[in-house]
Chains A and B, each alone.
Chain A
Amino acid sequence: MSRTRAPVALAVPAVAAVALVVLPLVYLLLRAAGGGLDVFEVLGRPGTLTLVVKTLVLVAAVTGTAIFVGLPLAWLVTRTDLPARRVIAVAAPLPLVIPSYVAALALLGAFGPRGLVQQLLEPLGVERLPEIYGFVGAWLALTLSTYPYVFLLAGAALRGLDPALEDAALGLGRSRWGVFRRVTLPALRPSLGAASLLVALYTLSDFGAVSLMQYNALTRSIYVQYRSLFDRTPAAVLALVLVALAAVLLVLEERSRRRVRASASGAERRPKTIPLGAWRWPAFAFCATVVAFFLVVPLAVLVYWTARGVELGHGIDFAWEAALSSVSASALAAVIAVVAVLPVAFLAERYPARWTRTLERLAYTGNALPGIVIALSLVFFAANYLTPLYQTLALLVFAYVVRFFPQALAGVESALQAVHPRIEEAARSLGHGPLRVLATVTVPLIRRGLLAGAALVFLNAMKELPATLLLRPIGFETLATEIWKYTALGSYSRAAPPALLLILVSAPFVYLLAARRGSDVSAPG
């Protein structure tokens, strides 16, 4: 590891980027400070502790299940002779593109009381399905939205792993399971850590699923406070509690990361395919169940609603124009986010010092905030201090970048970890400056990681709603706002076509993410 001091040319843009990303935190501190002693009153309410506990329980459950579902899937499709693994490789990460409020609505449509599944089972004498409202529903809907993070990041790490290590362990007489536990799993730790972090932050910040499922997480309470309008202090205090929880998670993840060393050598070797033998079909059944439950069921509900809309004479309005708006705003956000993330990630990975690591961790904290908080903070700053930019496309894109900075960061960092610093050191020893090395050596080497980060930002921006509603230029319709327009009225038959279109338009980008092969790290174009 390089011990040189961080170059100013990197430090300045990195600090500037993070300073912009933490604007919502500044806003919250302003609002909370305006409340004076009320802050302690809100913190001291018995209800606040209950909210924290319920939120943490949900975060733990969702993160655990996302790993339990995502990791085996990733291993099976990258390493084994699983039947139909190409199809599964593409289908498994697709739920990522379903907004969590749509996922929750669809799950309710399927498994809710008197939902489609119950109607199907009625002839068999099934009068009631297990209760979905509350914890179970929130847990399922959020697992659906988040396990693809684990699948994608673990999958990428599995592909980049040097098979020589596993081969050696096998040669030493370890069992398959032993090799997985002692060699593969530790090597996956950084990517699992990054993925878990994204999952946990997503769960902390989500409002759509918990409100539809009526689970009392902190975000739901924050929204109730905002909607009650008399005082913005309690909402700000509760949002800061979310940030504090995020900070704890960030420190934990940082600790777990320190114990592992990067193992990727950059060597280019395709690992041997592991024959599953008798486990082939049970493994396939597992994958098929996951895809059926988390992808086919919501899609089926959306198609059913669309069909009902046709029956009711609504016709199908696919909102292509909104799709174009969504794609252009999200694509801009994706590109800008990756550019902004680079100096932060590079600094933290290549010039590890307390301040560079802190800067990088700080960039994650805003991701724990629900969209409405980020939206209102940008309303405040832009309307009062950047009036010409207020409610322009530029501000909307900026909001996406702020909200999904961590997604880009996670993608770029995991790619950086896979490139050995020695390659860059060689370039520096030839007399190139740090920016030049970053541009000519590192960026080409990690360009797949950059694409992955960009795709994650893109997909999240495509489904973003709260900030879009408040910050978009007037008349700028996105697919998310189209869906909202109808779900707000309970008109699911008219909300379903734009939701299907959102999935359709996003799917190729997921394919791009999922289908990249092991050859990533090598040839720079």
Chain B
Amino acid sequence: MRRVMVLAVGALLGLAAGCGGDDDAGANEKLVVYSGREEELVEPLFDRFEQETGIDVEVRYGDSAELAATIAEEGDNSPADVFFAQDPGSLGAVEREGLLTTLPQDTLDRVPARFRDPDGHWIGTSGRSRVIAYNTDALSEGDVPDSVFALTDPKWKGKIGIAPTNASFQAFVSAMLLQLGEERTRDWLEGLKANEPKLYEKNTPVVEAVGSGEIELGLVNHYYLYLVKEENPDAAVANHFLTGEDPGALVSVAGASILETADHADAARRFVEFLLSDPSQRFYVDEAEEAEYPLVAGIDAKSGLPPLDNLRGPQIALDQLGSELEQTLELLNAVGFTT
């Protein structure tokens, strides 16, 4: 037994030394990315960047918010060069810690101002719209409400699904707060609560539940539909896009940022630039299984999606969503969605 232990401890120390020893030993330039975007969705982009530039990309995948918290704990010692996140909230959290650097103006100019941080600390790389997913067996698209405010109608009692602990739902409520104020938002949340919506952990299970007929309507982001269809092609679910300035038509982004402390700042700038290049933007149209919106002008979304320019949504700035979050959580808590 003791011999085994001695061997094991020896092996561990050896491994630890091995892991610590390979720092920058290679000739290749290196880039460290913390990615809150899923490996299955974005790995081809990383591969392509490696091929094009010869830079070795090391990616740490995780949940966007957890990675943001990680960067905050790491502080000045963060090994990350780039933070590639699922939502403006996570990017904003790292920005508020003062850990992000300003991106070059010509990179920022690639996307419309509404899809980036006004201070230039992060930039949207792909877009997603809130939608109402509906069950195609139970409803035709004409039956689906054109505003989230119609969802408090008692006829939808028990038929709606939401994911109140998920960042995307919280961002939508924050948008409503910014646009319409606390009173109307609270009224709406209470009306929704009275309709006894079913609660899920995140967007995917909501769309699955709509597809299986467990519920009829779900408040989600548009691209989960494609992921669910990929897993279950028979799922009876489709998206209904809301129009005008309804908060349920919020368009948000996944985005990228560069850390102030980046050891490989040059490679990091090239990478963000690469994410916004025409070919990378076309990736969301031609290859990605989840059909997000490209944000660069002149590249049209996957066919079947309404054009991005037609999606208005609430007229709020995405970087403000983060600062509303505290109040959003308090409201969700008070109305009883999170306790």
Binding site for B on A (CB under 8 A): 45, 47, 50-51, 112-114, 133, 211-212, 214, 216, 220-221, 223-224, 226-232, 312, 331-332, 335-336, 338-339, 372, 376, 379-380, 383-384, 387-394, 397, 439, 443-444, 447, 450, 466, 469-470, 473-475, 481, 485-486, 488-493
Contact = CB atoms under 8 A, between A and B. Distances in A.
Interface in B67-91: 67-70, 72-75, 77-79, 89-90
B177 interface: no
A336 B8 contact: yes
Nearest to A439: B2
Contacts of B38: 485, 488-489
Given A47-B333, A489-B40, A376 B77 contact: no
Contacts of A212: 201
Given A232-B72, A391-B79, 5 more contacts: A51-B339, A229-B90, A335-B9, A336-B12, A490-B224
Interface stretch (B207-215, B302-310, B312-320): B207-215
Interface stretch (B148-156, B275-283, B293-301, B321-329): B321-329
Given A50-B339, A473-B19, A492-B231, A335 B66 contact: no
7 contacts: A45-B333, A47-B333, A51-B339, A228-B325, A229-B325, A392-B20, A492-B231
A477 to B, nearest CB: 10
Interface stretch (B56-64, B139-147, B179-187, B245-253): B56-64
B77 A490 contact: no
B11 A332 contact: yes
B27 interface: no
Contacts of B201: 211-212, 214
A384 B77 contact: yes
Contact of B338 (A114, A216, A336): A216
B165 interface: yes
B16 interface: yes
A491 B63 contact: no
A332 B16 contact: no
Count chain A CB atoms within 10 A of each CB in B1, B32, B213, B329 and give the residue with the most. Answer: B1
B41 interface: yes
A226 B93 CA distance: 11
8 A-B pairs closest in CB distance? A490-B204, A394-B16, A229-B93, A227-B65, A114-B212, A392-B19, A383-B74, A47-B339
A379 B212 contact: no
Contact of B322 (A133, A230, A387): A230
A229 B68 contact: yes
B264 interface: no
Interface string B176-210: 00000000000000000000001111001101110
A390 B79 contact: yes
Contact of B339 (A221, A312, A336, A387): A221
B132 interface: no
A376 B19 contact: no
A54 B311 CA distance: 42
A335 B326 CA distance: 44
A397 B167 CA distance: 31
Contacts of B209: 113-114
B1 A443 contact: yes
B133 interface: no
Chain B CB within 10 Å — which of A332, A376, A379, A387 has the most?
A379
Contacts of A488: 38, 63
Contact of A491 (B40, B70, B339): B40
B15 interface: yes
Given A383-B78, A390-B77, A394-B15, A226 B1 contact: no
B77 A383 contact: yes
Contacts of A383: 73-75, 77-78
A491 B16 contact: no
B69 A376 contact: yes
B228 interface: yes
Candidate in A214, A389, A466 with the most chain B CB atoms within 10 angstroms: A214
A379 B74 contact: yes
B227 interface: yes
Contacts of B13: 394
Contacts of B63: 227, 469, 488
Contacts of A474: 32, 58-60
Contacts of A389: 16, 20
A133 B214 CA distance: 12
B56 to A, nearest CB: 10
Interface string B198-242: 111100110111001110000000001001101101000000000
B193 to A, nearest CB: 14
A229 B65 contact: yes
B25 interface: no
B199 A214 contact: yes
Among A50, A372, A490, which residue has the most Cβ atoms of chain B within 10 A? A490
Nearest to A443: B1
Contacts of A232: 69, 72
A469 B322 contact: no
A211 B70 contact: no
A444 B69 CA distance: 45
A490 B231 CA distance: 8
B126 interface: no
Given A224-B338, A393-B15, A485 B1 contact: no
A372 B68 CA distance: 13
Which one of A50, A226, A447 has the greatest number of beta carbons of chain B within 10 Å?
Answer: A226
A384 B198 CA distance: 43
Contacts of B167: 227
A351 to B, nearest CB: 22
B74 A384 contact: yes
B331 to A, nearest CB: 12
Contact of A376 (B8, B40, B70): B70
Contacts of B19: 392-394, 473
A226 B65 contact: yes
Given A113-B214, A114-B212, A394-B16, A230 B325 contact: yes
A474 B35 CA distance: 11
A228 B231 contact: no
B222 to A, nearest CB: 15
Contacts of A113: 209, 212, 214
A295 B42 CA distance: 35
Given A216-B339, A392-B19, A470-B70, A228 B12 contact: no
B170 interface: yes
Contact of B204 (A379, A391, A489): A489
Choose among B4, B19, B78 the residue with the greatest number of A CB atoms under 10 Å from its CB.
B19
B39 interface: yes
Contacts of B69: 226, 229, 232, 376
A468 to B, nearest CB: 10
A447 B1 CA distance: 8
Contacts of A475: 58-59
A50 B65 CA distance: 25
A223 B165 CA distance: 9
Given A392-B20, A393-B16, A490 B79 contact: no
B191 to A, nearest CB: 21
Contacts of A114: 209, 212-214
A394 B79 CA distance: 17
A331 B5 CA distance: 10
A230 B93 contact: yes
A474 B15 CA distance: 14
B106 to A, nearest CB: 30
